[in-house]
Chain A
């Protein structure tokens, strides 16, 4: 592991290519590279997991060994060598802290650079932060407030110890171990993640949020998130990502499972800003994520995502509309610049009667990037009166990028009503001219137009995120005026 010097850091910050490109040197406990059954066992042991969990991981690992890496996505990249990754790394300074003073000062400095100093966060906006640095949850705040309502919000490894019955009952029910290559890998080696349970009839009083970061050279991050909203409850969950600059490609294969029981509602928002690689397309994070939600009767799941980072993104937040009258929503903005590649979209599986789904996807491609929308709307033969509306708009900036749409629509019920629309366009010269004329420079004008283009989705984000997301859009498209 090569060490970063102060000068390197300063140099990197100076270039300002990637605002959050720094690296914290915390003594980490890192496993040897490679993956076999022993490593899986060791991870499980390290986390002091019960026997059933170890078995569950091993089962996934065995399935994974016989699976092949999928190639159908519209992306090109050098495949990661799964035997060259270390599958576990944890900040060394255990055990956990009760107050901020005990936290490793270097970590705190990291947060400060990110602009998420814990004290401030505590006061601001009432957001409870479960901060994940290098896969292990270091500090959890507002736990007490949530505890009073009976809400369980903790890292998944804690949940496995403290609430094994809940985890056992729900883990893998929405995304089974053998679902796909990366989900199987994640099931075998997941290091940590968040667990959230909202009891019957409880409206979660604050937005739950987790910042995921990758922070150790050569370690992939495999989080596992499980959100369960019991009957009649409501929760809004935020997830934001930033990662330090790194030259080699990093692998990120997360699994998120949402379960909305009868009459429950889950709103899941993501701002993803992993390191996208530099302007020459070198480096950057591989983001292969499986996200899926299950809706029971009258339940609603809403996915909102702003994707600006990662060298390669492969992500399809999905809704299984199992219960009658359930609703699935998907709002997405995907921005790609330079050599980024994104293949993202959603799946809406209509199983119950009177189920509804809405898909709004906005793709913005600039530089030499490729941006694809890939979606599936499936109406099964018993899903009477299913309704879907999909809209995919693409905005192209420059003639070296590409925008692609691959919508799959499968209908097996005559009462189904499905609409799909897609358009592709560019920013009109007249629009830019109009702005210029009124004293708005071209860069600002583009930001303005892009914001207008993606407004429908931005509006769906919670307040704090909407502001951050708007800024992100601007940063991502910097220098792409053409």
Chain B
């Protein structure tokens, strides 16, 4: 039985135990039909031309996680940004871990999707926002069909959330390979500001496949900073679908740091429904050893006077493959749009591959749109300069690569997070530099 059939049959079981007839349940039933019809995307789909899911899908995944596994905080402390106070929403194998989490209902709601789905006081928010941004592509539909758990964050008007929120998904997968489908909903009302850090972490050598959907709504003048840390172990694959709907004068930024995992696919979609919106999409990818990272972005400019900034840097070693497919659509009404896109790559090994496709679709005439894309090597004269001053080759190389990715790092607004990422990069490049020169 292949994974699709397995998912379809387990959906029947899933249906039995979930609340019949509710708003979300109807969505789930519609979604499973969409998935049944479309199936998993294949290389024949233009959006999946360079990324094949076949290998990942061939594993025998357990679709419903078993009982909750307890984790000791000290064992997993290193995966948290632990040197600052944060709200935490932690899941172990898809189940909420109250013991590791720190949620709140004081003024803001930082809690669980499962409780938001069943408690009547959240009903209005759920009905207004749930599944309102997500596209009905097959993977998002699959997630919707099985959506039951994830983070639920609702920031009401005029709130500045003082501490960042961490969302961490651990998979212990002690028994077998598992498939997780977390569903996050983040609603930020007018004038509010929130910072969120998301991380998926596998603690097992068994294969893990995560198909995550995150919907973010930024109301007027809201500010949302979202950071994704992808540094999973070599058997974990992640398909991340993020949909962001912005209203006028809001600022949203998503930084994606992809350092680990077997296969990572980021579907990042921004929809600008209002004027004077600013969207930022940035990413650093440093991978090697048969890893595959695919960034598939979309910025949809619908109304006038908006901006978008995209900057993706990639360093590819060994047998790794990097894919970038950035699409910018400027509608007819979206005059005075400023859309900027850059994708710079360094190939370190002859076995590494880069496929990039920056794509512009423009229907308005009074716009400034540009994209740039480069593939190149480290500057040999810079290397020579450093070596001639006694910096060993390895460190010189690491310094240059760090400088290369610094454009993206410099816009990270949480200093502790920046430090942490710097460390991961140093680690990845095999040097013990702090880079705080």
Contacts and interface: CB of A to CB of B under 8 A. Distances in A.
A398 B356 CA distance: 30
Interface in A393-411: 394, 396-411
Interface string A399-430: 11111111111111111111111111110000
Contacts of A405: 358-360, 371
A409 B373 contact: yes
A403 B371 contact: no
A399 B365 contact: yes
Residue with the highest number of chain A CB atoms closer than 10 Å, among B352, B359, B362, B376: B362
A77 interface: no
A399 B345 CA distance: 34
Interface string A351-383: 000000000000000000000000000010100
B358 A399 contact: no
Interface string A279-295: 00000000000000000
Nearest to B335: A399
Interface string B359-398: 1111111111111111111000000000000000000000
A72 interface: yes
Given A402-B363, A407-B358, A426-B366, A419 B374 contact: yes
A399 B363 CA distance: 7
Given A417-B375, A417-B377, A419-B374, A404 B367 contact: no
Nearest to B333: A399
Nearest to B347: A414
A32 to B, nearest CB: 38
Given A403-B362, A420-B358, A424-B360, A415 B377 contact: yes
Contacts, number: 113
A401 B369 CA distance: 15
B375 A404 contact: no
A402 B371 CA distance: 17
Given A399-B332, A400-B332, A412-B353, A406 B374 contact: no
B436 interface: no
Contacts of B18: none
Contacts of A423: 369-370
Contacts of A413: 347, 350
B354 A422 contact: no
B418 interface: no
Contacts of B104: none
Nearest to B317: A414
A417 B332 CA distance: 36
Contacts of B46: 72
Contacts of B350: 381, 412-414
B349 interface: yes
Given A409-B354, A415-B377, A417-B375, A402 B369 contact: no
A346 B50 CA distance: 20
Given A381-B351, A409-B355, A410-B355, A422 B377 contact: no
B4 interface: no
Interface string B97-125: 00000000000000000000000000000
A369 to B, nearest CB: 11
Contacts of A410: 353-356
B335 to A, nearest CB: 7
A73 to B, nearest CB: 11
Given A72-B46, A422-B370, A404 B377 contact: no
Nearest to A403: B362
Interface string B134-161: 0000000000000000000000000000
A327 to B, nearest CB: 19
A420 B355 CA distance: 13
B132 interface: no
A415 to B, nearest CB: 7
A379 B353 CA distance: 10
Contact of A396 (B347, B348, B354, B365): B365
A426 B351 CA distance: 42
A426 B336 CA distance: 11
Interface of A (DSSP majority class): strand
B43 interface: no
A415 B345 CA distance: 12
A416 B375 contact: yes
A101 B361 CA distance: 54
B357 interface: yes
Interface string A412-456: 111111111111111000000000000000000000000000000
Interface string B186-200: 000000000000000
Interface residues of A, number: 35
Nearest to B341: A422
Interface residues on B, range: 35 or more
Contacts of A417: 375-377
Contacts of B348: 414
Given A414-B350, A423-B370, A406 B359 contact: yes
Contacts of B363: 399, 401-402
Contacts of B335: 399
A422 B361 CA distance: 12
A401 B332 CA distance: 9
Contacts of B332: 399-400
A414 B362 contact: no
Contact of A414 (B358, B365, B377): B377
A418 B360 contact: no
Contacts of B358: 405, 407, 420, 422
A418 B374 contact: yes
B362 A422 contact: no
Nearest to B325: A408
A410 B345 CA distance: 11
B362 A408 contact: no
B362 A404 contact: yes
A439 to B, nearest CB: 26
Given A399-B365, A411-B347, A420 B354 contact: no
Nearest to B375: A418
B360 A404 contact: yes
Given A411-B347, A414-B350, A394 B374 contact: no
Contacts of A418: 373-376
Given A409-B354, A410-B353, A420-B372, A399 B362 contact: no
Nearest to A408: B357
Contacts of A407: 357-359, 373
Residue with the highest number of chain A CB atoms closer than 10 Å, among B347, B352, B365, B374: B365
Nearest to A415: B377
Contact of B365 (A404, A411, A415, A426): A426
B368 A425 contact: yes
A408 B373 CA distance: 10
Contacts of A421: 370-373
B354 A398 contact: no
A422 B376 CA distance: 18
Contact of B362 (A72, A396, A397): A396
B295 to A, nearest CB: 14
A195 to B, nearest CB: 37
A423 B340 CA distance: 10
B284 to A, nearest CB: 19
Residue with the highest number of chain A CB atoms closer than 10 Å, among B360, B366, B367: B360
Contacts of B375: 379, 409, 411, 416-418
Contacts of B360: 403-405, 422, 424
A394 B360 CA distance: 11
A401 B362 CA distance: 8
A424 B360 CA distance: 9
Given A381-B351, A399-B332, A423-B370, A409 B365 contact: no
A424 B332 CA distance: 14
Interface of A: 72, 379, 381, 394, 396-426
Q: When A and B form their complex, which 10 residue pairs have the shortest distance between CB atoms, in order from nearest?
A: A396-B365, A414-B347, A418-B375, A420-B373, A424-B369, A426-B365, A402-B363, A409-B356, A404-B361, A405-B360
11 contacts: A396-B362, A398-B365, A399-B366, A401-B365, A404-B362, A409-B357, A411-B345, A412-B352, A414-B349, A419-B376, A424-B367
